[in-house]
Chain A
Amino acid sequence: MKKILLLIVAVFIPVAIFAQQRIQGIVLDENQEPLAGVTVVIKGTATGTVTDVDGRFSIDAKEGQSLEISCMGMITKTLPITGKSPKVTVRMVTDSYYLDNAIAIGYGTAKKSDLTGAVASVQTENLKNTKIGMVSSALQGSVAGVQVTQGNMKPGADAGILIRGASSINAGTTPLFIVDGVPVDGLQDMSSSDIQSIEILKDASSASIYGSRGSNGVVLITTKKGTAGKARISLNATAGVQTMMNKQDMMTAQQYYDLIETTGQSYNWTSAELRLLSRGESTDWQDAVTQNGSFQNYNLSVSGGSDKMTHYLGLDWYDQKGIIRNSSFNKLTVRYNMDSQLADWLRMGVRVNFIESRLMNINEESDSGYGTLFSAISSQPTAPIYNADGSYFDGFLNTKANPVAIVDLLDKGTKKTRGVGSFYLEFEPVRNLRIRTDNGGEVVFFKINEFEDGRMGQHYDPDGHARITASKKIYWQTENTITYDFAKDRHMFTVMGGFSASRTAYEDVVADVKGIDPILRYNSIYGAETHGPNSSYASASTLVSFYGRATYNYDERYLLTVTMRGDGSSKFAPGHRWSFFPSAAFAWRISEEKFLKSVPQVNNLKLRLSAGRLGNQNIGDYAYTAQVTQGGQAISYVFGNNLATGAAYSSISNPELTWEKSTQFDLGIDFGFFGNRIAGTVDAYYKRTTDLLWTVPLPYESGYTSSLTNVGKLDNKGIEFSLNTVNLNLKNFEWVTSFNISYNRNEIVELYDGKQDVNKSLFVGHSIGEYYTLKSDGIWQLDEADEAAVYGAVPGDRKIMDLDGNDIINGDDRDFAGQSTPTWYGGFGNTFRFFGIDVTVFMNFAGGHKINNSLLRYLNSYNVWGNMSKDYYNNYWRVDRPSNKYPAPRVGSAYSNGDGTDANLEDGKYLRIKNVEIGYTLPKRWTDAIRSSSIRLFFSIQNLATLTRYTGYDVEAWDQTNPYPGSRSYIGGISINF
């Protein structure tokens, strides 16, 4: 509103006549780089000029007049001339909705104005809101309809991405990631500074060109190319520290002792524990296994080239030490991109990416008692870390391992070496006809070296245990397309057709030894005492596709896109391998119609409609055939004291197994008002998945528990809204806001055989992941003893609601208790720039879901296996202290840990201040002195605060019991451009 007023004021202020003066200025972009070719005119006159290569201009104007500064891809800026402004520096704000931007759409590009489908472009500026972590995390909160969850906080972990809701039950919900035309498994290996653009194809029309694999959406990443002309060198250095968030408040040793003694439980206190107690000490196991993490990232890119050939070289080193001791991740990324115009009719290019990374992992066994963080939370606080002789204390309950021994001694490194590359040749034998062949592939080597030292505790082999896993994945593809553009009068056509084939082959080998020298470990297993079980595995899959796309543009007003793709996949049964994925989309650029063209406030108004079909084949290889497994525990046997190999059916055949399909409709409006200072998109979609690839439970009596079958229907409906505004665009102060919010409703429409539910875990009319549990209703109190006795309970037990009133608590008393995936989520960012300073505050949020905080089953009920929360100690039910919060510490008390009930469900909604950043760009005259074009210093706090009712380590964590704790980071950095 304010900016509208400003505009009005600017227009209507009476203009006084003042003396002519010469104004000299320089126009810069947001990164303080000079902008050439910017038009500068005196508003309301024909007088104007254009900036030179260094962004400089000079113009004569009178005080009281205004300069209107405009440039393609930038929001126009108006500067009133005052008496004091002979020299001005003008900073432009990028127009993120600029309509001439080329957008990658898969097998080609299109102008943003010509798009007919729901394609969201991620502004690379937004990626900078995430300093630590992978590119996937950086997408969080930046695009409507794209839900990003950092479910694992360990160094180097990819975030989960869900586009427009979960549209599959068993065949995966991960979108297809395509980097420079090559599909990849995730974004873990990307260096964000190599990224030119990220496009997210959300609707059927845009994604159907990747038909077979598009039903979860497509993430297209284009990496940077060199630009002809001046060589550019960019150097970024970032470093920071991390602290643990949400440490759980556990009982002290004395409280633990008191509680155990109160219950009369027989407990053999070891002398070491009694000594610790007598000294009034307590072991804080969470502190003992964690530390402040640290992080550094260095990045160098060099690019440039001539008219005929351009180069881009990117180097990136990322190194993070986690907040759990001895966990770390580092990664070296090297990228080289080259494009060359060999002749008028021939272009070629190569994309080469090499990555070497190393992850030192924690023990991720979830609730087994050996998981790193879980063992720390649950170890009794009375236990010392070390015995008097300095060895690790090993007197834990339930044969748990010493948490400190685990972090000290567990050696579990994953090394990944990965090469991805492609080359293309593009011929243009006649004008506007392009024939392109793009061939690429990927080689990934994994080596996981594990060594468990015998000193880690009784769970582990006393003589040491080493395991080596080596795997190799090879992927190749060939993509061949032919494209023809032609235009006649107001009609413009583009026709593209193509063929592709690809093959993925995977193999691995696992060697396992015991009784191994702790120095040699996995590096020489020959001398181990026992070898085996050793194993190996191999699999492969192929995909063949034909595709075509035709676009028609009438007078820049009416746009039509028709796409067709046919895919054959080796994963399906013979006769059911092929499927076809058509789509069509129509767009009407209302703003180009006569009646709106004359309205200057409306820069863009476009209505989009699309419909189409997409596929999903994201299942294991060979699922169509019955398989017979040879060997293994309880399959092989012993006769005459000699091993005999057995063979048994491990899966049932699925002779009709075929593609999962989703049909999607999309209605969208793009808008841009007031010189695109208010611009955004609204989309509504309806996606129905049919023939779900689903591991349908089979009656156990058949000897199988499930079988992959194409059944059922699943709906996702949603609305997405995103808005970018330039709130203030003054001479020395800009304020830009971006906001997006999405709502998705996921609903199972049909199961199979007319069932209304499957195993009481999936229900018609409800979302996937809907909780269906018993209802807990506090604690049985003393005056309710008679009622409790009906259910075999006594006061102090958890009270479960007998919903059907038949005096038995069983499965019939379950009811719905909320869903596990958020229904709404989004992001909200504000950037302020004044003089050389920029301030960014970025938040993301999600809600509408419940989290089953399974850690609470140990923390908030009597758990003779280890420590409990202080909250439990203060609030459990006691005869002399009746509580309605936590059950009494009674062994055998039914439902006390809340399993099967809603007692551990917590509201999952949150608002997280993900990034608060302040940056300072050094004045031009300083940077000129060292011939740098810009130097920026910044300081950022990541995860400053999270507002949520969830009580666990991190509201986004997938594993509640043994998560990697979330962290707050304090980061500083510098970026220098030449």
Chain B
Amino acid sequence: MRRFIYFVAVAVMLLVQGCEDFLTEIPKSSLTPENSFKTTDDWNKTLTAAYGAMQNITAGFAAKYAITLGEFGTDEVQPFDLGWAAYAQLHYYTFSADHEFFSNHYINCYDGIKRCNTVIDMPSTAPVDPASKELMVAQARFLRALLYFDLVRMYGGVPLWTSASVDKEQIMHPRSSADAVYEVIVADLSAASQILPTTWPNAEDKGRATNYAAYAVLGRVYLQWGRPADALTALKNVYGKFHLYDNYADIWLPANKNAEYENIFEIQFKHSGAWGEEGSLQHSYWGPRNIPGATTAFGGWGGFGPSQYLYDSYEDADRRKEAFFWTEYQGIPQTPPSIRKFWDANYGNEIENDDLNFIYIRYADVLLMLAEALNATGDAGQGEYDKYDCINQVRERAGLPDITPEDNLSEEEFADIILEERLHELCCEHLRRFDLIRAGKLIDQVKAAYPNDGINIQPHHVLYPIPQSAMDANEAITENNPGY
């Protein structure tokens, strides 16, 4: 009997083991934490994905949300495709927290932050040598700062996630104050600026973040945060390290990618075999409108474009008035003129698959930010840091006369001139909305640009609402921004 029991027990054990083996299926078409992150290359791929997230908030397939949220509802860009309620609501300021662009953009940002956090929290057991690890973490922190910056300037204070672990018990993070978010951004950028190289020596690394990029972005962040003195400190590190192209088209010319001449940090795109890969959608979104054949004939979708107000605000002598705009394209008049910054002569005739990098920050912007910071701090500057010198470098390229102390401009008047100069230099580069908010002029300028549209813009519109679905999914977020 005992032998029988023994026999049965063994048989059952074998059967159970056999069943467990039979019931173990490992994913075939994706990796798991168990079989991934085994080599330095695995970790490099993780960092690559963090860079990849930047495409979503600049000019990649999902970038429609970032473009529209950064450009619509300003004096420089208006939607023409008003049949799409999503567009019309942004233009007329009739959107609510349910607007799908908010949630899509918000999800894209935090998806990227998750990827950055994975690298930043790299375990000590990871098979990566310390020097490489330090560089990888610095890049990830740089990218995380860009993502949080996108969030804080649109939605104000948002919940902070700075760790890779996802503990389902502690998954509801409340909103932090905008200041706390800025603190994290500044800390990330400052740390990155200490570690990142000024340039990546190997050609295959071109496109990675540099310490100049970190300083330049840090300047932009501080200005937006209302701390011009700190901005000045950061931006000084970049002054004189870059140049201005004589020819405006060179800024976006695919042949000039990562030349580190004027452009300081570029989000990388590459024309690919098919739509939805590494191509950018800038040409298809901004190209001239009403072209027969549209995007396949170097035209654009025509859903939105620069406002007439923008074009009319240029002086005729301004070289940019011609360099940046099409008043007609192949005999088709463009009213208002469409923008020609984002022009890919090789692949612009493919649908959302051009070869243009997104120029995240460039030297002309740095010069204008320097001028703004010097003006705001009352720092007269000396020699090369003079605010006149900074703005005039940009104006001279445009063929405009210098601004001089003899013009006797008050600090406020000078600030207005910088704002105007930023409009003319940096239009359609996803900056205008935030420039206007910083200057406190969003409402006035929207009303000035579209006096007949009856736009119902209110003071609370300087912040977008936290997306309703994000509020619904996170019970620690109890209050939306005022007015929503």
Contacts and interface: CB of A to CB of B under 8 A. Distances in A.
Interface string B68-94: 000000000000011111001101101
Given A634-B62, A892-B82, A703 B96 contact: no
A533 B294 contact: no
A640 B84 CA distance: 38
Interface in A385-441: 394, 397-399
Contact of B30 (A397, A530, A629, A811): A629
Given A501-B22, A630-B45, A639 B205 contact: yes
Interface in A468-504: 501, 503
Given A639-B268, A640-B207, A892 B91 contact: yes
Contacts of A601: none
A398 B304 CA distance: 12
A541 interface: yes
A544 B19 contact: yes
A645 B45 contact: yes
Interface string B39-60: 0001011101111110110001
B306 interface: no
B24 A648 contact: no
A536 interface: yes
Given A638-B270, A653-B33, A891-B88, A702 B206 contact: no
Given A640-B207, A699-B159, A892-B89, A647 B31 contact: yes
A697 interface: yes
Contacts of B94: 792, 892, 894
Q: In the complex, which range does the number of interface residues on chain A fall in?
A: 35 or more
Contacts of B84: 398, 865
Contacts of B44: 644
Nearest to B302: A399
Interface string A622-643: 1001111110011111111111
Contacts of B294: 399, 458
Interface string A78-118: 00000000000000000000000000000000000000000
Specify which of B33, B34, B272, B274 lies most central, judged by the most chain A CB atoms within 10 Å of its CB. B274
Interface string A749-761: 0000101011110
Contact of A792 (B61, B103, B301, B456): B456
Nearest to A571: B25
A640 to B, nearest CB: 4
A698 interface: yes
Interface string A522-545: 000000001111001111111110
A898 B53 CA distance: 34
A637 B113 CA distance: 16
Interface stretch (B307-315, B317-325, B388-396, B472-480): B472-480
A462 interface: yes
B24 A574 contact: yes
A646 B34 CA distance: 18
Interface string B202-244: 1111111000000000000000000000000000000000000
A897 B56 CA distance: 29
Nearest to A539: B28
B172 interface: yes
A530 B278 contact: no
Given A639-B206, A641-B206, A700 B107 contact: yes
B24 A640 contact: no
B484 interface: yes
Contacts of B360: none
B327 interface: no
Contact of A697 (B20, B45, B168, B472): B472
Contact of B55 (A532, A637, A650, A705): A637
A630 B257 CA distance: 26
Contacts of A808: 483-484
A771 to B, nearest CB: 15
Contact of B161 (A630, A701, A891): A701
Interface string B374-403: 000000000000000000000000000000
B277 interface: yes
A458 B173 CA distance: 46
Given A699-B470, A701-B158, A642 B48 contact: no
B473 A698 contact: yes
Contacts of A700: 103, 106-107, 110, 467, 469-470, 473-474
Given A640-B207, A810-B96, A892-B91, A633 B31 contact: no
B203 A640 contact: yes
Given A627-B32, A894-B94, A760 B48 contact: no
A784 interface: no
A863 interface: yes
A829 to B, nearest CB: 46
Contacts of A621: 25, 27
Interface in B243-286: 257-258, 268-270, 272-274, 276-278
Nearest to A643: B278
A539 B28 CA distance: 6
Interface residues of B, number: 101
B33 to A, nearest CB: 5
Contact of B270 (A543, A643, A698): A643
Nearest to A541: B25
Interface string B173-187: 100000000000000
Contacts of A268: 290
B190 interface: no
B5 interface: no
Contact of B27 (A627, A646, A809): A627
A892 B166 CA distance: 41
Given A544-B19, A647-B45, A810-B484, A570 B25 contact: yes
Contacts of A512: 274
B30 A703 contact: no
Interface in A847-906: 863-865, 891-892, 894, 896-897, 899-900
Nearest to B295: A458
B274 A530 contact: yes
B114 interface: yes
A155 interface: no
A131 interface: no
B29 interface: yes
A891 B115 CA distance: 40
A899 B29 CA distance: 38
A926 interface: no
B278 A638 contact: yes
B49 A640 contact: no
A277 interface: no
B180 to A, nearest CB: 14
A652 B111 CA distance: 12
Contacts of B113: 701, 703
A808 B31 CA distance: 48
B125 to A, nearest CB: 17
A268 to B, nearest CB: 7
Nearest to A896: B85
Contact of B98 (A398, A537, A652, A900): A900
Contact of B82 (A699, A753, A755, A891): A891
Contacts of B31: 627-630, 647
B126 interface: no
Nearest to B268: A638
Specify which of B45, B55, B113, B294 lies most central, judged by the most chain A CB atoms within 10 Å of its CB. B45
A508 to B, nearest CB: 10
A162 to B, nearest CB: 27
Given A628-B31, A702-B161, 12 more contacts: A458-B294, A544-B23, A625-B32, A627-B27, A634-B53, A634-B60, A639-B206, A639-B208, A640-B258, A647-B49, A699-B173, A700-B110
14 contacts: A462-B293, A570-B24, A627-B32, A638-B278, A640-B203, A640-B204, A643-B278, A644-B48, A647-B46, A697-B472, A700-B469, A702-B166, A811-B97, A892-B82
Question: 10 smallest A-B Cβ distances: which pairs?
Answer: A703-B114, A646-B49, A864-B83, A699-B474, A646-B48, A648-B49, A892-B92, A638-B268, A647-B45, A628-B31
